[in-house]
């Protein structure tokens, strides 16, 4: 069974600085998808970034980028120029390719606080 | 506006009193799913539906029921709620559940407390 581990329960960063959130996963599959979701205090789940395992190029969305290391089964999220609005819980998630369940397997989350 | 809606947003109930949390999406998505979120555990899938009249158990289905009679609606039913079902519940939908990495769109969440 696949598992997703986020080893940092809480992190903080100063506004305008860069922070990296860690995520590792365990799977025997070769093709899959990885996601980072953001959950602000409003509780809404918002997709931040998505990575296909067959793509070697790391995904980037504005200030958000990932470092995808397939051999190490690592998928970290880098937030550049942190803003107060980035304060949220961040969840790393895994989805099998071709599976019939469409299930997202989530890590336990990292609570990020951006300080002024 | 494309969205997933859930009702109610907050619910306090007593043990054993049947309740239904509704979920509706307006994006013509085939796939819908229910998750529960508990502190320190992340989100875990309860039930999912690949299409109308097709539902199946997720990772934590005990104590829950679902139905998918229409494409847009996917209600979650708790026949006899217990305190261990106190949680934050999310409904989600996506274009397809065929493991193609389609984005899942989440509803706003329903905070359920069972006393």
DSSP assignment string, B33-68: EEEEEETTTEEEEEEEEEETTEEEE-S--TT-EE--
Lookup: tokens for B9? 């947003």
Q: Over range A50-64, report the average pLDDT.
A: 93
Q: Is the pLDDT of residue A100 over 70?
A: no
Q: Over range B56-60, report the average pLDDT.
A: 92
Rounded to whole angstroms, the Cα distance separating A107 from A55 reads 22
Query: Shortest CB distance from B90 goes to which of A42, A45, A103?
Result: A45
Burial B46-76 (b: 16+ CB within 10 A, else e): bbbbbeeeebeebebbeebebebeebbebbb
Rounded to whole angstroms, the Cα distance separating A30 from A13 reads 34
Q: Is the pLDDT of residue A29 over 90?
A: no
Q: Is the pLDDT of residue A43 over 70?
A: yes
Residue A30 CA neighbour count, 13 Å, CB half: 0
Q: Is residue B67 within 8 Å of B77, Cβ to Cβ?
A: yes
Q: Over range B76-92, report the average pLDDT.
A: 97
Rounded to whole angstroms, the Cα distance separating B1 from B30 reads 18
* Banded model confidence at residue B17, pLDDT cuts 50, 70, 90: very high
Q: Is residue B39 within 8 Å of B49, Cβ to Cβ?
A: no
* CB contact (8 A) between residue A47 and residue B103: yes
User: Cα distance from B40 to chain A (closest Cα, Å)?
Assistant: 6
Chain B touched by A11 (CB under 8 Å): no
Q: Is residue A10 within 8 Å of A111, Cβ to Cβ?
A: yes
Greatest mean pLDDT among B34-43, B68-77, B91-100: B68-77
The pLDDT of residue B101 is: 72
The three-state secondary structure class of B48 is strand
Query: Shortest CB distance from B108 goes to which of A44, A91, A99?
Result: A44
* Banded model confidence at residue A101, pLDDT cuts 50, 70, 90: low
């Amino acid at each position: 069974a696949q598992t997703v581990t986020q080893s940092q329960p809480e992190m903080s960063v100063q506004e305008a600085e860069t922070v990296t959130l860690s995520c590792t996963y365990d799977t025997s599959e070769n093709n899959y998808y990885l996601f980072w979701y953001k959950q602000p205090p409003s509780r809404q789940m918002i997709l931040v970034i998505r990575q296909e395992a067959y793509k070697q190029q790391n995904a980037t969305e504005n200030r958000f980028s990932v470092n995808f290391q397939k051999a190490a089964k690592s998928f970290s999220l880098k937030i550049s120029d942190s803003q107060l609005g980035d304060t949220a819980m961040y969840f790393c998630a895994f989805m099998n390719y071709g599976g019939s369940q469409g299930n997202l397997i989530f890590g336990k989350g990292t609570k990020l606080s951006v300080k002024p | 506006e494309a969205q997933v809606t859930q009702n109610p947003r907050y619910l306090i109930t007593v043990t054993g009193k049947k309740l239904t949390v509704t979920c509706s999406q307006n994006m013509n998505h085939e796939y819908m799913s229910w998750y529960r979120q508990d502190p320190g555990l992340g989100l875990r899938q309860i039930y999912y539906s690949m299409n109308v009249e097709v539902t199946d158990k997720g990772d934590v289905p005990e104590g829950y029921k679902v139905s998918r009679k229409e494409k847009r609606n996917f209600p979650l039913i708790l026949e006899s709620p217990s305190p261990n079902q106190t949680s934050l519940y999310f409904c989600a939908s996506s274009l397809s559940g065929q493991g193609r990495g389609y984005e899942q769109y989440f509803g706003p969440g329903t905070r359920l407390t069972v006393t």
